[in-house]
Amino acid sequence: MLRTTLAIAVTFATPLAAQQADTAAYRAQARAEVARLKAERPRAGPARNVIVFIGDGMGVSTITAARIHQGQLAGQDGESFVTAMDALPYTALVKTYSHDGQVSDSAPTATAILSGVKARNATLGVGPEVATGDCAAARAHAVPSIFVAAQAQGRATGVVSTTRITHATPAAAYAHSAHRDWEAAVPAEAAAGGCIDIARQMIEGPVGSRLDVILGGGRRYFLPQSASDPEYPDIRGLRADGRDLVAEWRRRHRNGRYVTDTRGFAAIDTARPGPILGLFQPDHMQYEADRAGDVAGEPSLADMTVKAIERLSRNRRGFVLLVEGGRIDHAHHAGNARRALEDTIAMDRAVAAAVASTDADETLIVVTSDHGHAFSFAGYPPRGNPILGVVAGPDGKPYRARDEKAYTTLGYANGPGAHDHPRADPADEDTTALDYKQQALVPLGSETHGGDDVVARASGPQAHLFRGTIEQHSIHDVMAEALGIAGE
């Protein structure tokens, strides 16, 4: 059942701006929230559909800062603002360590979420028995994602991401690889051992070849080195094997639609049968803050989510859809909080669109992250202080550190924002600028992931199982429980 309303079907306590609140108002707000919590009833039946959102690198500090930024951009009280993710009724803390790491990368965490086992860092869609780069072990210990069982049940399946579609998180839906970087080629030894690259697995693999919707970036990973990109003629394909995998996909799917820009995307008739392949950039898609400047144009994460739901909903047996807000992670690695927050907001809009486009009685929606970042939200800024600004007092004057310089609310424990020379004074800089890099403590070329717990939020059938503190690989089993494939 497809909804047309855009309202989020969850009643939430009314946010209170500081200037509107007094003791009675706060007490009334709390009572309303308790009433909402008491009224919530678990949906214990099976799910027809499952949509899992993964905000790559979207830790708790990112969620909180993005909520405030979203509210402030809307001219509202950011601290009490309620996002679509906030409105999902069930929440659990999620442990993010991998089989061999206190701090994980995105390949084993996506494997945990989608396949139900912890794996080693840098490996994808394989069990913990596989060491990084060990092709033979990867072939012996591939683990099926939830997409395998969904396709066996006759459900429609789709993958949407703002990263390359061969990148770690989306690839975990359909690929098995001893190294996450084997996207367009594998080492000679691995090739001799029968391992193939991730792009080929998407085109000819047992899961990838049956995906009904594929939307994301990464065109050059499917094109030969002799081919020029359709949008950027100076960029050529990456494939040394000479194969044009896009052309191969089109031959395999005579009734399929392949699009590369917003014009082609808008023209897709989702009522027409056949799979959809959209590759909107030669590499990753644009950050949300930069998307409007793209020459050919590319759809938003919410646009792609809605299009995917419309197409997948045509299957009467239901569907499984993965949606990744992947560039949150990339902005954090760059020490660029503003782009990270705006990509988080874009993901929240996609969540809102999914809630509005589905029936909560038949669709389990899970929103989580694979890992956090070394991203801090600190100081003592007063309520209403610009989240991207410097920490200031009620008089608007910046607080000063021991070096007599101001400091921002948001920062990083490590990354490119650190320097060997004395730090600049943020009060003399535009800390809200799109390219501003928040200051960091330890100088690194790329900021790192964090090992802190993340959150999972959920609504729909079996969503009440998300509670307490859970292992990351248990997310897979909750989704499997909802689809009636637990233990398969």
CB 151, CB 210: distance < 8 Å: yes
Residue bearing tokens 């644009």: 286
Q: Give the Cα separation of 36 and 11 in Å (integer).
A: 7
By DSSP bridging, strand 276-279 and strand 213-217 are parallel
The 3-state DSSP class for residue 233 equals: coil
Token pair 């079907």 is found at 9
From residue 42, how far is each of 36, 90, 154, 226, 459 by CA, in Å?
13, 9, 27, 55, 9
Name the catalytic one among 80, 98, 104, 106: 106
CA angle 284, 290, 291 (to 5 degrees): 70
Q: What residue type is 407 in one-letter code? A: Y
Closest CA to 451 of 98, 91, 53: 98
Which residues are CB-neighbours of 469 under 8 A, at least 6 positions away? 92, 93, 94, 95, 453
106 among known catalytic residues: yes
Beta strand 449-450 pairing with 49-55:
unpaired
- Cα separation of 248 and 200, whole Å? 10
Burial string for 277-303 (b: 16+ CB within 10 Å, else e) reads bbbbbbbbbbbbbebeeeeebbbbbbb
Q: Both tokens of residue 123?
A: 């490996």
**334 touches 416 (CB < 8 A):** yes
CA 43 vs. chain centroid, Å, equals 25
Q: What are phi and psi of 357, to 5 degrees?
A: -100, 0
In sequence order, which ranges of 313-380 are alpha helices (DSSP H)? 327-333, 337-357
Question: Is the distance from CB of 27 to CB of 383 less than 8 angstroms?
Answer: no
CA atoms within 13 A on the CB side of 353: 19
Cα distance between residue 184 and residue 233, in whole Å? 20
DSSP H or E segment with residue 480: helix 474-483
The four Cα atoms 96, 102, 106, 110 give a dihedral, to 10 degrees, of -40
CA distance 25 to 28: 5
Which helix (DSSP H) or strand (DSSP E) does residue 90 occupy?
strand 90-95
**Residue 22 backbone dihedrals phi, psi, to 5 degrees:** -140, -175
Active-site amino acid positions: 106
